[in-house]
Every structure is written in C-alpha cells, then in structure tokens.
Amino acid sequence: MQHLPILPILIPLLTAALLLLPPFQTMLSRQRWFSGASLLLLVLVSAFGLYESAFGATNFYLLGNWPQPFGIVLVHDRLAAMFVLLTAVLALAAWLFSIGGEDGLGAFYHPLLHFLLMGINGAFLTGDLFNLFVFFEVLLISSYGLLMHSGGKARARAGLHYVLMNLAGSAVFLLALALLYAALGTLNIADMAQKISQLEPSQVPLVKAAAGMLLLVFGLKAAVLPLHFWLPSAYSAATPAVAAMFAVMTKIGVYCLLRVFGTLFAGYDNPLADFGQQMLWLAGLATLLLAAMGVVAAQSLKKLIAYLVLVSVGSLISVLAIGTVPAVAAVLYYCLHSTLIAAALFLLADLIAKQRGTVADRLVSGRPLQQPVLLGSLFILAALAVVGMPPLSGFVGKIWLLQAATDASDKIALWSVVLLSSLLVLIALTRAGSTLFWRLNKQQAGTERCGRAQLVAVFSLLLSSPLLVIFGDAVMQFCLLAAQQLHTPLLLSTTGGH
C-alpha cells in the first residue's frame, strides 16, 4: 500500500465534496449514511496505517514524485499514524452522536466535519512547514463553521473570539515561516533540521525569533496559559458532538510542539536545542493550576468540562517540556486517554442537560432525571477516568506522567501541582455530580429519554478507558517506540518515491 499515507487526507476531502453535490445535498438521511460509511472506511484505513507504521519505517510520501526537499512530502510514522487513528475514532463517535438530530440543526454539518478531518489529518501527516500552515487553515475554517453550527448568541460571541484569535495566530505563523525560509532556504522539516545544525552564528537570532513565534502559535492552538482565554467559552458554547470533536484540536497544538520542537530544534549540535523548554515548563504548570481552579469555579457542567480539557493541556505541556523519551511517551499515552474521555464527557453532559429541562447543565438544583441510574453510572465512570483513580486509564496515564520527572526539583514541582490539581478536580466533580443527580426540586421528571445511538457513542468512548488499561502494555510499548522514532533525526530520503 504505497499510497496509504495520503488516504486519510483524500477520503475526507472527496467525501466532503460529494456531500455538497446533488444526490446528497438536500437529503439529510443520505448525508448521514454516506458520511458514516466514509468515517468507517477512514477508521479502517487509519488502523491499517497504524499496523504498517508499527514495523518502524518512516514512510515518506512524495507528492507528485518531486524529490525532497523540493516537493511537498507527507511523513507517515508511528506518531502521525497514532494521532490519525485517534481522530478517526473520535469522528466516528461524534458522527454517531450527531445523527440523533444535532446534525439537522444547521446546514452543512457533515461536509464541514469531513473538511475538518481533512485538515486535522493533513496537519498530522505533513512533513513541510508551509503545508502545515495550509492544513491549519483548512481545519480552522471548518471549525469556525462547526462552532457556529445551529447559531445563537453564545456561539456568535465565542465564535468571534475564536476566529479573531486564530486569524492573528495565522499571521504570526506566516511571519515565522518567512523568517525561517529567509534564514534556511527550505521549509521541509527534515531538511530544515539539517540546515539548522550547520547554521552560521549570524543567522541564529533570526531562527530563534522564528522559533519563538512558532512557540506562540502552537501555544495558542494548544491553549497554554496566557493564550487560553478563548477555549472555555468556545468549547462550552459548541454543540455537543462538535465540542467532542474539538477535544482533539488542542492536541494538534501539542502534536506540533512535539513534531517541530522535537525534530527541528532538538539535537546535540543544534544551536537551538532546549529552546523554549523552560517557558513551556512554567506555562504548563501554571495552566494546570489555573485550569483546576476554573474547574472548581465553573457554574455549568459544560464549562467545567472545558476547563478539564485545559487541565489535560497543562499536564501534557509541562511533561512535554521535560523532553526525554519516557516523558514524550507518557505525553502520547495521556493524549489518547484525555482526548477520548473529554469527548465522552461533552457528549454525556448534553444527555444529562436534556433530561434536566430548563436548568440544563447549570450546576443548580433541578428536576429529577428520567434515567438517573444509567446516566449517573456513566458520569461516575467518566469522572473516575478523568480524575485519575484506579483502575481506569487516567490513573495509569497520570502515574506515567509523574514518573517522567527525574530531577528532584522537577519532581517536587510536577508532583505537587499535578496532585493538587487532581484533588481540586475530584472535589469539583464530586460536587457537580451530587448537584446534578441528588439536589432535586419537587418537579416531576421529564419524559425525554436518551437516544440509542447517542448512548452507544458515549459508551464506546468511555470503553476506551478500560481498554487503554487492559492493553496498556502494548499501547505503552507503542508510545515508547513512537517517542524514540521522534527523537531519531529524520533523514532526507530521495529514494522511496512513488
């Protein structure tokens, strides 16, 4: 399968384009099934890609068969394959949830979902920095549309912030690219890494400035501390399936930090080695603390979950800054866990809100739920996973994150901040759960019950948590190998063309 690397980009692109054409354009039911079939195919292709990548070879796919570094190249290695599969699984769950009626609330839900997937997969697979910018724009413009799906005041307000922040971010990204091109004469990541190690001292400040700007842009995507203000309102305003899909968006920032700062600016003879590490470490820890306080202070369940996303970003960024192979592997494992569980929580919050009538997801006393036992047990499962209690994947993930710190001073900082934030999250979730399920007023329960497809979507996302523990050994081995592969310098291969 030599064309395997490009399929996760082509499948959503063609699907989205077809969905806009006559046989599907006006018929929501046809759109649903075609979209679902395409997502299923995407999951299968991504799973096969993961299987191929497990053999360890980095697969360069030369678009148009232009030799490197002149043409655009896709890089399919363990790291990329893993994130592509994660995205595909998440999209399938979001699709399953949305066919309960959410997709009909506004136009173009399914085409936008597939364009978003094309952008995300492209960002994961590309080996060219300018191409990364283009795929960022593809995924951003689709996410703008999805965020505004079904309209309303709160979405317009959050959407405006989100779009403005990202447009400013794109301008900074372009400035960084132009600087890097002026200094290095190439935008191919593997080629740039080689050029940087032989950089003239006079050029180093230019490249450093560009690296600082890239740090800013990826920090904005990942929502690290001073750049996180757009996230809570945007994620809590989005419709549930969209919010679930957005759970992977912050991880794109984390992925780019890993890819660009792991490959481009790392290396022993690199003048920029360890650039920004201290900043990321402090920003990550501060994000973690602040987000945990946000979780405690949140007045609605969706806001609370949005802050939980920030908590995971904080833990990921601070451990990522440590930068050793075990640390990166722990980050990858925690990425899998936190994305899937955050998505499950967003979907679950909607199911709970629907049965509470007018108070919706606000954390005040409301009418009893129609299915309290079912939703309550799902909520407990999700809460246990997200807090990091045994026996679910949050526990394994957090232990692994904590083990990544090796210095005594790092250990003190990381352990105290992570454990303190976990305690705050535990308190907040306990309080939220008891308010939602036990603080009832005298009203009768409503009649609305959960749709079967929606329950299956939540359940399958939650199931990933025990699965990540049961197959923990294999997943960890894979994460370790992926981290090692990231740390071995990418060699330009002019052979292996297609």
Q: How far apart are the first and last CA of the chain?
A: 11
User: Would you give the binding string for another protein spanning residues 276-315, x where CB under 8 A is met?
Assistant: ----------------------------------------
Is 213 or 260 the residue whose CB approaches another protein more closely? 213
Residue 35 · residue 91 · CB < 8 Å: no
Q: Minimal distance in Å, beta carbon 106 to another protein?
A: 12
Which residue stretch of 44-52, 171-179, 337-345, 410-418 sits at the interface with another protein (rule: CB under 8 A)? 171-179
Is 212 or 466 the residue whose CB approaches another protein more closely? 212
Give the C-alpha separation, 91 to 109, whole Å: 12
Is 70 or 471 the residue whose CB approaches another protein more closely? 70
Residue 143 · residue 116 · CB < 8 Å: yes
Query: Torsions phi, psi of 75, nearest 5?
Result: -115, 115
Give the C-alpha separation, 233 to 243, whole Å: 11
Q: Minimal distance in Å, beta carbon 372 to another protein?
A: 34
Applying the rule CB under 8 A, the residues between 141 and 170 that interact with another protein are 141, 144, 148, 151-153, 156-157, 159-161, 163-164, 167-168, 170
Is 179 or 227 the residue whose CB approaches another protein more closely? 179
Is 160 or 399 the residue whose CB approaches another protein more closely? 160
DSSP single-letter state for residue 63: G
Is 232 or 314 the residue whose CB approaches another protein more closely? 232
Q: Minimal distance in Å, beta carbon 155 to another protein?
A: 8
The tally of CA atoms less than 13 A away on the side-chain side of residue 79 is 33
Query: Torsions phi, psi of 494, nearest 5?
Result: -95, -15
Q: What is the CA radius of gyration of the chain?
A: 22
Q: Minimal distance in Å, beta carbon 338 to another protein?
A: 30
Q: In 3D, which of 335, 260, 262 has the Cα closest to residue 488? A: 262
DSSP single-letter state for residue 60: E
Q: Minimal distance in Å, beta carbon 388 to another protein?
A: 35
Residue 8 · residue 121 · CB < 8 Å: yes
Q: Minimal distance in Å, beta carbon 163 to another protein?
A: 6
Q: How many residues bind another protein (CB under 8 A)?
A: 28
Which residue stretch of 95-103, 174-182, 415-423, 459-467 sits at the interface with another protein (rule: CB under 8 A)? 174-182
Is 100 or 159 the residue whose CB approaches another protein more closely? 159
Q: Minimal distance in Å, beta carbon 6 to another protein?
A: 19
Is 148 or 381 the residue whose CB approaches another protein more closely? 148
Give the C-alpha separation, 181 to 206, whole Å: 10
Is 127 or 323 the residue whose CB approaches another protein more closely? 127
Is 165 or 329 the residue whose CB approaches another protein more closely? 165
Contacting residue, 130, 271, 410, 459, with another protein by CB under 8 A: 130
Q: Minimal distance in Å, beta carbon 408 to another protein?
A: 43
Q: Minimal distance in Å, beta carbon 178 to another protein?
A: 4
Q: Is the peptide bond before 391 cis (omega within 30 degrees of 0)?
A: yes
User: Would you give the binding string for another protein spanning residues 357-396, x where CB under 8 A is met?
Assistant: ----------------------------------------
Q: In 3D, which of 159, 276, 257, 183 has the Cα closest to residue 217? A: 257
Give the C-alpha separation, 38 to 486, whole Å: 30
User: Would you give the binding string for another protein spanning residues 178-217, x where CB under 8 A is met?
Assistant: xx-xx----x------------------------------
359 alpha carbon, distance to own chain's centre: 30
Q: Minimal distance in Å, beta carbon 473 to another protein?
A: 44
Contacting residue, 134, 209, 453, 492, with another protein by CB under 8 A: 134
Helix axis angle, 28-53 to 109-125, nearest 10° = 10
The answer to the question of residue 492 lying near another protein (CB under 8 A) is no
Applying the rule CB under 8 A, the residues between 420 and 449 that interact with another protein are none
Give the C-alpha separation, 423 to 425, whole Å: 5
Q: In 3D, which of 274, 157, 173, 276 has the Cα closest to residue 220? A: 173
User: Taking the CB of residue 107, how many other CB atoms lie within 10 A of it?
Assistant: 11
The answer to the question of residue 175 lying near another protein (CB under 8 A) is yes
Q: Minimal distance in Å, beta carbon 198 to another protein?
A: 20
Contacting residue, 52, 137, 410, 448, with another protein by CB under 8 A: 137
> What is the per-residue burial (b if ≥16 Cβ within 10 Å, else e) of 432-450?
bbebbbeebeeeeeeeeeb
Residue 378 · residue 462 · CB < 8 Å: yes
The answer to the question of residue 177 lying near another protein (CB under 8 A) is yes
* 61 DSSP β-pair partners: 74
Q: Minimal distance in Å, beta carbon 377 to another protein?
A: 38
Give the C-alpha separation, 354 to 377, whole Å: 17
Q: Locate tokens 């999700």: which residue?
A: 382
DSSP single-letter state for residue 406: -
Q: Minimal distance in Å, beta carbon 295 to another protein?
A: 23
Give the chain's count of helices (H) and strands (E): 20, 2
Q: In 3D, which of 169, 291, 308 has the Cα closest to residue 225? A: 291
Contact residues toward another protein (CB under 8 A) are 130, 134, 137, 141, 144, 148, 151-153, 156-157, 159-161, 163-164, 167-168, 170-171, 174-175, 177-179, 181-182, 187
